[in-house]
Chains A and B, each alone.
Chain A
Amino acid sequence: MLYREALNKALDEVMAIDDTVVTLGEDVGLYGGSFRVTEGLVEKYGEERVIDTPIAELSIVGNAVGMAIGGLRPVAEIMTGNFSLLAFDQIINHMAKLHYMSNGKVILPMVVRFPQGVSKQLAAQHSESYEQMLCSVPGLRVLSVCDVNYAYHALKYAILSNDPFVFIEHELLYNKKGEVNFEEQLDPFKARIVKEGEDITIISYLKMVDDVMQSVPAIESALNCSCEVIDLCSLNPIDYETLAASIKKTSRLVMVEEDHKTGGFGSQVVAWAAEEMFYELDAAPLRLAGADVSIPYNRTLELASIPTPDSIAQEIIAWGRKNDV
């Protein structure tokens, strides 16, 4: 099953059992969604539950908040992460705060989903990542999806939960193949150990997990070591327990993310490790992240602006040699 099909199946199943679930966004209905996540849903559930909206992101999320207040479970799709910025007021001032400000009286069972990240030469206004901003807002659950099985289970969970979720997908993962274990009782807040290892803990999320996995054979053979690779999955809350257990075992931490390095989400993980895991670590942690520049169109520059399997391998090998891995 493809990543986008897993998301589609999750939505479809939840819409079938719960008729308060609606989905709204630009071209989600007749067009089937720009990444085909909502394909076939309008035919099944009608235009009243699969709602094509105007190009008005602030209203898409603002309306979803109101729908949730009114007793629905809206799943809002924003076409691309960069366009979610137009909805940030609604996400941060409304979606994240009404429950707390009302002393728990207002409940917002809703999901805002969007893909983000560097795709292929879509340039500065279509390539950025925003988890760092969203994760610093109390009151939002933030999930990031790399794995196909996780996509299915986590989206179902998020839709049926009574809390507001931001559900982050990646532009380049929609056609990724994977198995879904439909029987599994998956905890969406638990980090996923993608590969077990003894010597280096490499933490990542979204598409970078796959890039890290591609770089691992080169790292292991160059350093004669074994790497443990962890997909964070949930970015807020963070599953520190799983991270701590891994670091205790390996004593070494590498954090890899696609986003700009300064203020990037990985700084939270490394700051936590500095506070809580200092005496477990045998080397200063390594952080690999995107350059502090807007994403350029030219392919060579674009690839130079983010970690790639090659650059990840090179940097980790150099760091490993310096730190006696």
Chain B
Amino acid sequence: MNKLLAQEIYYFMVLGRNFEYAAKENYMQGNVSGFLHLDIGQEAFSVAAMKAFEKGDIFATYREHVMAMARGIEPKAVMAELFGKAEGVSGGKGGSMHLFEPSRFFYGGDAIVGGQIPNAVGCAYARKLQGAEDGVMVIFGDGASNGGAFFESLNIAATHKLPLLFLCENNEYAIGTNIKRSAPFREQAKKAEPYMMTLSVDGMKAEAVYETIKEAQKLIEDGHGPIFVEAFTCRFEGHSVSDANSYRSTQEMSHCKAKDPLVHFKKELLERWMCSDKELQEIEQKAQTAVDEAVAFAKNATEPNVAALFEHVFVEEV
């Protein structure tokens, strides 16, 4: 990582945090509806993973706004989607949980827990068959690693030595259930060990996430087959905006918030990359402007035409 990249990562982390707060505010005001899963607290993980895995295909979950933006999808198009507008990245049909942009190799936004993992395996198979340079990265939670789709995918990906990065975001919770109550151990990488090489990383530290994903990517490029990376993170909010987060004590929350990835990475920038306060302020300002513009854009964007209801059921008319 160099200074320029560190600054770019910081920009997307601040953008992500401010975007999520703006999304929440607009949810409270009734401009955004449905399920809204915020990524606050996990920005280092989401941004650094995307920046490290720059090119290949991405399969993500419903908690994907920050990843989508770090992947190059415009904040305006993401916010407009949350507002259900025609200019949204999914035309207002998907909403917060279903952001799709194949031109950025970003395939959702899947809201069936674990459902995207077999899709990523299939895509990795295609890439291998095509002799493509870039592999596939699939992001899922600790909760998803208890499901059948996950175990089947480990087996198939390893059997075919597929170019697939399994990226587990272990925030220790599936809605209100702690991973220690739904699995015999906290570390989900243990499940992958018999099948593939595993790496684990502190997901609250952007530089560490970046380096680990780069390392995994290199191993995949060298033909090692699939690699499993586990990042330990902590979400600062409830599971979604409608979850009161009552199952975590104040003590647990303050322990969690003490690991704020923005605070940590800002310190890195100041100390390790010798950024000036002014430089960082400019970045923060730029990020806030992007969020303000995204909200203004979403507010002024157009409602989809009712005829859109019947569009895109199929590719071909019969």
CB of A73 within 8 Å of the partner chain: no
User: Do B177 and A52 touch (CB < 8 A)?
Assistant: yes
Partner of B306, one of A83, A121, A125, A300: A300
Query: Hey, which chain A residues are within 8 Å of B277, CB to CB?
Result: none
> Once the chains bind, are A297 and B182 in contact (CB under 8 Å)?
no
Asked if A27 contacts B181 (CB within 8 A), the reply is no
Interface mask (B74-86 → A, CB under 8 Å = 1, otherwise 0): 0000000000110
* CA of A82 to CA of B113, assembled, Å: 11
In the complex, A54 Cα to B181 Cα: how many Å?
8
Nearest first, the 7 closest Cβ-Cβ pairs linking A and B are A297-B95, A54-B146, A31-B176, A121-B34, A298-B84, A121-B33, A298-B92
Are A126 and B35 within 8 A (Cβ)? Answer: yes
Q: Which A residues contact B (CB, under 8 angstroms)?
A: 26-27, 30-31, 34, 52-56, 58-59, 82-83, 86, 120-126, 291-294, 296-301, 304-305
Inter-subunit contact B97/A299 (CB<8 Å): no
A125 with B148: in contact, given A53-B182, A54-B182, A120-B33 (CB under 8 Å)? Answer: no
Interface string of B161-180 (1 = CB under 8 A from A): 00000000000001111000
Q: How far is the CB of B189 from chain A (nearest CB, A)?
A: 17
Q: How many angstroms from the CA of A304 to the CA of B93 in the assembled complex? A: 13
Q: How far in angstroms is the closest Cβ of chain A from B230?
A: 17
Contact B147 A55 (CB under 8 A): yes
6 A–B contact pairs at CB < 8 A? A86-B147, A121-B84, A123-B34, A123-B98, A124-B93, A293-B313
Neighbouring B residues of A293 by C-beta, 8 Å: 309-310, 313
Task: Say whether A55 contacts B113, CB under 8 Å.
Answer: yes
A301 to B93, CA, bound (A): 8
New contact pairs (6) apart from A83-B113, A304-B306, CB-CB < 8 Å: A30-B247, A53-B182, A121-B33, A292-B313, A296-B93, A297-B92
Q: Tell yes or no: B263 within 8 A of A by CB.
A: no
B33 touches A124 (CB 8 A): no
Give Cα A27 to B148, complex, Å.
18
Q: Is the CB of A301 within 8 A of B34?
A: no
The smallest C-beta distance from B156 to any residue of chain A, in angstroms, reads: 17
* Given known contacts A30-B247, A58-B148, A297 and B84 CB-to-CB distance under 8 angstroms: yes
Determine whether B56 belongs to the interface, using a CB cutoff of 8 Å to chain A: no
Q: How far is the CA of A82 from the CA of B115 in the complex (A)?
A: 12
CB nearest to B311 among chain A residues: A293
Known: A120-B33, A296-B92. A52 touches B181 (CB 8 A): yes
B143 interface residue per 8 A CB criterion = yes
Q: Does B293 have its Cβ within 8 Å of any Cβ on chain A? A: no
> CB distance A26 to B148 under 8 Å?
no
Question: Chain B 293-311 against A: per-residue CB contact (8 Å), 1 yes, 0 no?
Answer: 0000000000110101110
Q: Which of chain A's residues have a CB closer than 8 A to the CB of B144? A: 55
Option from B34, B98, B247, B309 in Cβ contact (under 8 Å) with A304: B309
Contact indicator B183/A54 (Cβ below 8 Å):
yes
- Cβ of A55 and Cβ of B174 under 8 Å apart? yes
What is the CA–CA distance of A220 and B283 in the complex, to the nearest angstrom?
64
What 1/0 mask marks residues of chain B from 105 to 146 whose CB sits below 8 Å from any chain A CB?
000001111100000000000000000000000000001101
Chain A residues within an 8 Å CB radius of B148: 56, 58-59, 86
Q: Tell me, rounded to whole Å, the shortest Cβ–Cβ distance linking A200 to chain B.
A: 28
CB neighbours of A124 from chain B (8 A)? 93-94, 98
Closest CB in chain B relative to A127 CB, distance in Å? 9
A121 to B92, CA, bound (A): 10
Complex contacts, A52 vs chain B, CB 8 Å? 177, 181-182
Give the complex CA separation of A230 and B174 in angstroms.
Answer: 40
What is the minimal beta-carbon distance from A309 to any residue of chain B, in angstroms? 18
A203 to B131, CA, bound (A): 58
Q: Contacts A58-B148, A121-B34, A297-B98 given: A34-B175 contact, CB under 8 Å?
A: yes
Which of B110, B143, B309 is packed against the most chain A CB atoms within 10 Å? Answer: B309
Q: Please, which residues of chain B bring their CB within 8 A of the CB of A294?
A: 313
Q: In the bound complex, do residue B146 and residue A55 qualify as a contact, i.e. CB atoms below 8 Å apart?
A: yes
Compute how far the CA of A56 lies from the CA of B306 in the bound complex, rounded to whole angstroms.
Answer: 37
CB contacts (< 8 Å) of B174 on chain A: these are 26, 54-55
Instruction: Report how far A293 CA is from B309 CA in the complex, Å.
Output: 7
Interface pair B111/A126, CB less than 8 Å apart: yes
Residues on the A chain within 8 Å of B84, using CB = 121, 297-299
- How far, in angstroms, from A9 to B197 measured CA to CA in the complex? 50
Q: Smallest Cβ distance from A245 to chain B, in angstroms?
A: 38
CB < 8 Å neighbour of B35 from A31, A122, A301, A304? A122
Q: How far is the CA of A300 from the CA of B308 in the complex (A)?
A: 11
Cβ-defined contact, A123 with B183, below 8 A = no
Complex contact B94–A297 (CB within 8 A) = yes
- Chain A residues whose CB sits within 8 angstroms of the CB of B92 once the complex forms: 296-298, 301
Structural contact, A82 and B112, CB atoms closer than 8 A: yes
Report how far A21 CA is from B315 CA in the complex, Å.
49
B176 x A300 contact (CB < 8 A): no
Question: For the complex, what is the distance from the CA of A300 to the CA of B143, rounded to whole Å?
Answer: 33
A292 to B309 CA separation, bound complex (whole angstroms) = 10
Residues of A within 8 A of B176 (CB): 27, 30-31
For the complex formed, measure the closest distance between the CB of A91 and the CB atoms of chain B, giving whole angstroms: 15
B258-308 contacts to A, CB under 8 A, are 303-304, 306, 308
Are B146 and A301 in contact (CB-based, < 8 A)? no
**CB pair A301 B306 closer than 8 Å:** yes
A54 with B143: CB separation less than 8 A: yes
Which residues of chain B have C-beta atoms less than 8 A from A298's C-beta?
84-85, 92-93, 95, 303-304
